[in-house]
């Protein structure tokens, strides 16, 4: 029987129409291997020791239920109030509580038991994101010798920041039980290797792998992308003008989950600064689409209030009876409409203070008309900047720098826009999400097999291959 793929992510698509790059990429890979996708059900339960089938997908989806307490302590707590700020260089926002850590470990241990119940020895296991850093360790402790890979969607934390964890050395141990660690950028790979370099237990092998005890782990970058063709087709399809009769003359678009890592307040201030210096008679707009997330966490309530206050203040200062420079939409927009908005926009601002990749940057480029493209303004701190250097790269901590970039975008000659767009499009096509999944999985399947599961609390025995 051929090897199946088991994918594990915190969020699992619900319903037949679930879309999004990760859904499509994993769905294809899962369909090819008759695989299984395991994730947390959006509705809480009693924390049962069983998986339940989730209807709707062509692939097999199985969900576990988190209790209300786990939603609060594991998900909103350790994952999103400790690990998320840690990975996004905001250790000042880390809210460390013993109950959070306990819940995180307990959920990972339970998910490992559930995976172990269904995994066959030759299944390949692909774990996604910071919710499951210790999952391989838990699986190895249960005796699994399968190939287990991990992809981190967010930035790898810096060595100094890792010290905020209750037991920083555990972090390297957790990761060492994966066969392959995949990151968004070379910068993330470098930070991970720096962590191992600082750890006297780690040894660097000739082939670039890292050895901890008897465990050998490969570390590589796999920049994620979007469904480029599909998104381009949606943008080209046309449809009603999303603005109706209120279309702005000239606009710059921002699309983000409302998160402090996305640098939205700085973007608003930079646009305000640009308005002060703009050519006379022009009426540009910033259209910001930002649906709320994790809004029971205080840091998220703070950013919501901050943005409303800046937008209100700047509109008060600049708006006229027939012109509102800030249009701030606090909800989700369906993808076809989003694609059209990107295509209509003169520019897109991605000003993250830290970001694993940032798919909005790629979506904006894919949606452009190559003959008359808009301009991408991109933070140097988004993973996307590593490959997308043909964008107008900005420092999101420097309001003047961003205001200047907005001015440049509005004035950029057609030939330069076309040239930059062509270079960016080449990147977006090359890093398509299907290629990303293929590259990761084929590398994982080539990792040397683990021969024995580790003794509890100690290193595993793995062939050096």
CB of 89 to ligand ADQ, least distance (A): 13
Strand 326-329 to strand 284-289: parallel, antiparallel, or no bridges (unpaired)?
A: parallel
The conformation of residue 455, written as its DSSP 8-state character, comes to: P
At 202 the three-state DSSP class reads: strand
Q: Which long-range contacts (CB under 8 A, 24 or more apart) does 194-201 make?
A: 194/158, 194/159, 195/159, 195/162, 195/171, 196/172, 198/159, 199/169, 199/172, 201/172
Measured in degrees and rounded to the nearest 5, phi and psi for residue 184 equal -75, -40
CB of 226 to ligand ADQ, least distance (A): 7
Closest Cα to residue 360, out of 182, 231, 222? 231
- Contact residues for ligand ADQ, defined by CB under 6 A: 153-154, 224, 255-257, 289, 291, 332-333, 338, 355-360, 363
When the beta carbons of 184 and 209 are compared against ligand ADQ, the nearer one is: 184
CB of 278 to ligand ADQ, least distance (A): 26
When the beta carbons of 129 and 199 are compared against ligand ADQ, the nearer one is: 129
When the beta carbons of 81 and 137 are compared against ligand ADQ, the nearer one is: 81
Helix (H) or strand (E) holding 10: strand 5-11
d(CA 155, CA 153): 7
CB of 302 to ligand ADQ, least distance (A): 18
When the beta carbons of 351 and 421 are compared against ligand ADQ, the nearer one is: 351
Task: Give how far Cα 269 sits from Cα of 282, 363, 380, 399, 427, Å.
Answer: 18, 24, 18, 7, 30
When the beta carbons of 102 and 257 are compared against ligand ADQ, the nearer one is: 257
Secondary structure percentages of the chain, helix, strand, coil, to 5: 45, 20, 40
CB of 37 to ligand ADQ, least distance (A): 16
d(CA 104, CA 166): 13
When the beta carbons of 123 and 259 are compared against ligand ADQ, the nearer one is: 259
Q: 123, 129, 153, 161: which is the annotated catalytic residue?
A: 153
Helix (H) or strand (E) holding 8: strand 5-11
Closest Cα to residue 144, out of 465, 460, 464? 460
Closest Cα to residue 28, out of 457, 329, 437, 360? 437
CB of 229 to ligand ADQ, least distance (A): 15
The answer to whether residue 355 is catalytic is yes
Q: 73, 123, 173, 355: which is the annotated catalytic residue?
A: 355
When the beta carbons of 270 and 360 are compared against ligand ADQ, the nearer one is: 360
The answer to whether residue 41 is catalytic is no
Cite the active site residues: 153, 355
């Amino acid at each position: 029987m051929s090897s199946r793929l088991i994918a594990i992510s915190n969020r699992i698509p619900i319903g037949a129409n679930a879309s999004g790059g990760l859904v499509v990429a994993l769905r294809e890979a899962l369909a090819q291997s008759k695989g299984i996708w395991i994730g947390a059900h959006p509705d809480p339960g009693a924390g049962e020791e069983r998986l339940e089938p989730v209807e709707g997908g062509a692939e097999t989806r199985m969900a576990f239920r988190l209790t209300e307490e786990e939603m609060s302590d594991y998900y909103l707590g350790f994952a999103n109030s400790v690990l998320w700020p840690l990975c996004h260089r905001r250790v000042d926002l880390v809210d460390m509580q013993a109950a959070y850590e306990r819940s995180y470990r307990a959920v990972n241990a339970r998910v490992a038991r559930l995976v172990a119940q269904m995994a066959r020895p030759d299944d390949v296991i692909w774990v996604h994101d910071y919710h499951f850093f210790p999952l391989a360790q838990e699986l190895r402790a249960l005796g699994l010798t399968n190939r287990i890979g991990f992809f981190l969607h967010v930035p790898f934390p810096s060595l100094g920041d890792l010290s905020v964890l209750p037991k920083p050395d555990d972090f390297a141990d957790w990761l060492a039980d994966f066969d392959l660690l995949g990151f968004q950028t070379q910068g993330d790979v470098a930070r991970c290797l720096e962590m191992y370099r600082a750890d006297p237990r780690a040894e660097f092998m000739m082939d670039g792998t890292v050895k901890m005890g008897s465990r050998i782990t490969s570390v590589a970058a796999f920049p994620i992308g979007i469904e480029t063709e599909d998104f381009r087709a949606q943008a080209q399809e046309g449809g009603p003008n999303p603005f109706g009769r209120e279309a702005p003359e000239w606009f710059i678009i921002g699309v983000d989950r409302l998160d402090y890592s996305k640098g939205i307040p700085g973007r608003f201030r930079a646009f305000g600064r640009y308005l002060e210096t703009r050519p006379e008679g022009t009426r540009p707009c910033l259209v910001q689409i930002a649906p709320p997330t994790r809004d029971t966490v205080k840091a998220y309530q703070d950013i919501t209030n901050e943005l409303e206050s800046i937008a209100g203040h700047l509109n008060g200062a600049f708006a006229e009876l027939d012109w509102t420079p800030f249009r701030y939409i606090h909800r989700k927009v369906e993808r076809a409409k989003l694609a059209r908005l990107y295509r209509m926009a003169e520019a897109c601002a991605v000003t993250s203070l830290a970001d694993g990749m940032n798919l909005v940057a790629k979506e904006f480029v894919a949606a452009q008309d190559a003959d008359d493209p808009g301009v991408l303004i991109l933070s140097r701190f988004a993973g996307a900047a590593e490959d997308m250097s043909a964008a107008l790269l900005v420092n999101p901590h420097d309001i003047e720098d961003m205001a200047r970039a907005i001015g440049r975008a509005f004035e950029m000659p057609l030939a330069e826009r076309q040239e930059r767009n062509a270079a960016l499009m080449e990147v977006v096509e090359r890093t398509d999400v299907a290629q990303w999944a293929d590259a990761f999985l084929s590398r994982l399947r080539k990792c040397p097999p683990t021969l024995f599961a580790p003794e509890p609390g100690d290193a595993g025995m793995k062939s050096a291959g």
